[in-house]
Structure 1
Amino acid sequence: MNSPSVLPTCDEQVKMLYERLEGMSEAWSYAVIRPDLPTVPVVATAPQASQGLSRKSTLIHTSTSLPALPFHFNMESLLVGPWKTVALVVLVALAIRISFKPKRNLPPGPKGLPVLGNVFQLPKTQQFHRLTEWKEEFGMTFKLQSNPTFIIHVGPVFSLNLAGQTMVVLNSHKVAGDLLDRRSTIYSDRPRSGLIGVLSYDGSGSHLQSIYRFIMVGEILSRYLAIPFCGYGDLWRKMRKAAHEGLNIRASEVYQPLQEKEAAILVDNMLKDPNSWDDQLQRSAASTVLTAVYGMESIKSKDDPLVAQINDFGQRVTRAALPGAYLVEIFPVMRYLPEALAPWKKEGNEWFRKDTAMFKALLDEAHNKNAGQVKPSFVATLIERKSGQLSTTEAAWLAGQLFAAGFETTAGALTVFILAMRLYPNVMKRAQAEIDAVVGRDRLPTFEDRDHLPYIRAIVKEVLRWRPGVPLGVPRRAMKDDFYEGYFIPEGSLVMANIWAMNHDPAMFPDHDEFRPERFLDETGTVDVVPADTRNQGHFSFGFGRRICVGLNLANQALFIDIASLLWAANIEPAYDETGAEIIPSRTEFVDKGVVVVHSRPVSFKCNIVPRSEDVTAVLEVAKTKFTTIVSGVLLSYRQQEEEEE
Structure 2
Amino acid sequence: MKLLQLYNQSVGDKATMLFFALLSATIVVVLYIRRSATSTSGRPSLPPGLPRRSFGFLKTDLGMPAWKALSILHEKHGPVTSMYRGRKLIISLGTLKAATDLLEKRGNIYSSRPRNIMGCIHILPALFWNTHARVSFRSELMSGGMRGVNMPYGTKWRNWRTLMHAGLGIQATGGHELMQSLESKILLNDLLNEQDPAAYVTHIRRTLASISMTMAYGRRVEYFGDPIALRFILSATGIVLNDVYLVYFNWLPSSQPGKFLVESRFLQWFRRVPEAHRKIDTKVYMELLSEAKQKLANGETETVILRKALDKQTEYGLSDVELAFGLSAPFAAGVSTSSTSLEIFILAMLHHPHIMRKAQKDIDSVVGPLRLPEFEDLDSLPYITAIVKETLRWRPLFPLGIPHDSLADDVYEGFFIPAGSSVVWNAYLISRDEKLFPAPDEFRPERYLGSAKEGSPSDSEELDPSFVFGFGRRICPGMHIARNSLFIIITRLLWAFDIIPSKDSDGNAVLPPIALEDFVEALAIRPRPFSYIFRPRKDDQGHSLITQECKRAREELQMHG
Give the alignment's TM-score, normalised by structure 2. 0.82
In structure 2, C-alpha distance between the alignment counterparts of 1:314 and 1:605, rounded to whole Å? 25
In structure 2, C-alpha distance between the alignment counterparts of 1:319 and 1:168, rounded to whole Å? 33
Could you say which residue in structure 2 is the equivalent of 1:133?
A: 72
Could you say which residue in structure 1 is the equivalent of 2:500?
A: 573
Structure 1 counterpart of 2:114, from 179, 191, 194:
191
In structure 2, C-alpha distance between the alignment counterparts of 1:172 and 1:515, rounded to whole Å? 20
1:263 is paired with a residue whose SS is: helix
In structure 2, C-alpha distance between the alignment counterparts of 1:82 and 1:362, rounded to whole Å? 49
For the 8 Å contact 1:111–1:117, the answer to whether it is kept is no
Deviation string 1:436-483 (CA, Å, 9 cap, x unpaired) is: 111111111111111111111111111111112222122212111111
Shift in Å, 1:336: 6.6
Could you say which residue in structure 2 is the equivalent of 1:356?
A: 282
2:424 is paired with a residue whose SS is: strand
Structure 2 counterpart of 1:289, from 205, 212, 215:
212
Shift in Å, 1:314: 4.1
Could you say which residue in structure 1 is the equivalent of 2:145?
A: 224
Give the alignment's TM-score, normalised by structure 1. 0.72
Over alpha carbons, which structure has the higher Rg?
A: 1
Deviation string 1:301-325 (CA, Å, 9 cap, x unpaired) is: 1x43333323323443799999x72
Could you say which residue in structure 1 is the equivalent of 2:469?
A: 542
In structure 2, C-alpha distance between the alignment counterparts of 1:591 and 1:378, rounded to whole Å? 34
For the 8 Å contact 1:455–1:518, the answer to whether it is kept is yes
Q: Does residue 261 in structure 1 map to residue 182 in structure 2?
A: yes
In structure 1, C-alpha distance between the alignment counterparts of 2:22 and 2:353, rounded to whole Å? 59
Could you say which residue in structure 1 is the equivalent of 2:365?
A: 437
Shift in Å, 1:601: 1.2
Q: How many residues get paired? A: 514
Deviation string 1:189-231 (CA, Å, 9 cap, x unpaired) is: 112479xx9xxxxxxxxxxxxxxxx999543222211112211
> CA 1:534/1:555 → structure 2, altered by over 3 Å: closer, same or farther?
farther
Q: Does residue 300 in structure 1 map to residue 223 in structure 2?
A: yes
Q: Percent identity?
A: 32
> CA 1:85/1:438 → structure 2, altered by over 3 Å: closer, same or farther?
farther
Q: Does residue 623 in structure 1 map to residue 549 in structure 2?
A: yes
1:426 is paired with a residue whose SS is: helix
For the 8 Å contact 2:211–2:220, the answer to whether it is kept is no
Shift in Å, 1:507: 1.3
Could you say which residue in structure 2 is the equivalent of 1:177?
A: 100
> CA 1:117/1:276 → structure 2, altered by over 3 Å: closer, same or farther?
closer
Q: Normalized per residue, which structure has more helix?
A: 2
For the 8 Å contact 1:262–1:284, the answer to whether it is kept is yes
In structure 1, C-alpha distance between the alignment counterparts of 2:429 and 2:457, rounded to whole Å? 15
In structure 2, C-alpha distance between the alignment counterparts of 1:485 and 1:550, rounded to whole Å? 30
- The letter for the 1-side match of 2:182 is K
> CA 1:550/1:217 → structure 2, altered by over 3 Å: closer, same or farther?
closer
Shift in Å, 1:549: 0.4
Could you say which residue in structure 1 is the equivalent of 2:48?
A: 109
Q: Does residue 605 in structure 1 map to residue 526 in structure 2?
A: no
- The letter for the 1-side match of 2:107 is S
In structure 2, C-alpha distance between the alignment counterparts of 1:270 and 1:236, rounded to whole Å? 40
Structure 2 counterpart of 1:100, from 5, 20, 38:
38
Structure 2 counterpart of 1:554, from 481, 490, 504:
481
In structure 1, C-alpha distance between the alignment counterparts of 2:455 and 2:368, rounded to whole Å? 26
- The letter for the 1-side match of 2:368 is G
In structure 1, C-alpha distance between the alignment counterparts of 2:20 and 2:270, rounded to whole Å? 18
2:92 is paired with a residue whose SS is: strand
In structure 1, C-alpha distance between the alignment counterparts of 2:418 and 2:286, rounded to whole Å? 41
Deviation string 1:260-281 (CA, Å, 9 cap, x unpaired) is: 1111111222222234222222
For the 8 Å contact 1:574–1:607, the answer to whether it is kept is yes
> CA 1:524/1:443 → structure 2, altered by over 3 Å: closer, same or farther?
farther
- The letter for the 2-side match of 1:574 is P
In structure 1, C-alpha distance between the alignment counterparts of 2:530 and 2:50, rounded to whole Å? 40
> CA 1:427/1:318 → structure 2, altered by over 3 Å: closer, same or farther?
farther
Shift in Å, 1:347: 4.1
Shift in Å, 1:235: 0.7
Shift in Å, 1:513: 0.9
> CA 1:246/1:540 → structure 2, altered by over 3 Å: closer, same or farther?
same
In structure 1, C-alpha distance between the alignment counterparts of 2:222 and 2:22, rounded to whole Å? 51
Structure 1 counterpart of 2:162, from 231, 234, 241:
241
> CA 1:155/1:364 → structure 2, altered by over 3 Å: closer, same or farther?
same
1:326-405 to structure 2, matched below 5 A, reads 326=247, 328-330=249-251, 333=259, 337=263, 339-368=265-294, 369-376=296-303, 378-384=305-311, 386=313, 389=316, 390-405=318-333
In structure 1, C-alpha distance between the alignment counterparts of 2:136 and 2:529, rounded to whole Å? 34
Could you say which residue in structure 2 is the equivalent of 1:64?
A: none
Shift in Å, 1:339: 4.2
> CA 1:278/1:495 → structure 2, altered by over 3 Å: closer, same or farther?
same
Shift in Å, 1:93: 4.8
In structure 1, C-alpha distance between the alignment counterparts of 2:520 and 2:21, rounded to whole Å? 32
> CA 1:190/1:318 → structure 2, altered by over 3 Å: closer, same or farther?
farther
For the 8 Å contact 1:94–1:115, the answer to whether it is kept is no
For the 8 Å contact 1:294–1:362, the answer to whether it is kept is yes
Could you say which residue in structure 1 is the equivalent of 2:83?
A: 160
In structure 1, C-alpha distance between the alignment counterparts of 2:242 and 2:109, rounded to whole Å? 27
In structure 1, C-alpha distance between the alignment counterparts of 2:115 and 2:242, rounded to whole Å? 16
2:359 is paired with a residue whose SS is: helix
> CA 1:473/1:335 → structure 2, altered by over 3 Å: closer, same or farther?
farther
Structure 2 counterpart of 1:493, from 397, 421, 424:
421
In structure 1, C-alpha distance between the alignment counterparts of 2:67 and 2:172, rounded to whole Å? 34
- The letter for the 1-side match of 2:478 is G
> CA 1:124/1:524 → structure 2, altered by over 3 Å: closer, same or farther?
closer
1:161 is paired with a residue whose SS is: strand
Shift in Å, 1:300: 1.0
Shift in Å, 1:409: 0.4
Give 5+ residue unaligned stretches, structure 1. Answer: 1-79, 139-153, 198-213, 637-646
In structure 2, C-alpha distance between the alignment counterparts of 1:305 and 1:91, rounded to whole Å? 51
For the 8 Å contact 2:261–2:267, the answer to whether it is kept is no
Give 5+ residue unaligned stretches, structure 2. Answer: 1-17, 120-134, 254-258
Shift in Å, 1:413: 0.5
Could you say which residue in structure 1 is the equivalent of 2:389?
A: 461
> CA 1:316/1:626 → structure 2, altered by over 3 Å: closer, same or farther?
closer
- The letter for the 1-side match of 2:49 is P
> CA 1:632/1:343 → structure 2, altered by over 3 Å: closer, same or farther?
same
In structure 1, C-alpha distance between the alignment counterparts of 2:180 and 2:399, rounded to whole Å? 26
In structure 1, C-alpha distance between the alignment counterparts of 2:107 and 2:519, rounded to whole Å? 31
For the 8 Å contact 2:21–2:261, the answer to whether it is kept is no
> CA 1:87/1:311 → structure 2, altered by over 3 Å: closer, same or farther?
farther
2:498 is paired with a residue whose SS is: strand
In structure 2, C-alpha distance between the alignment counterparts of 1:451 and 1:600, rounded to whole Å? 31
1:602 is paired with a residue whose SS is: coil
Shift in Å, 1:133: 2.2
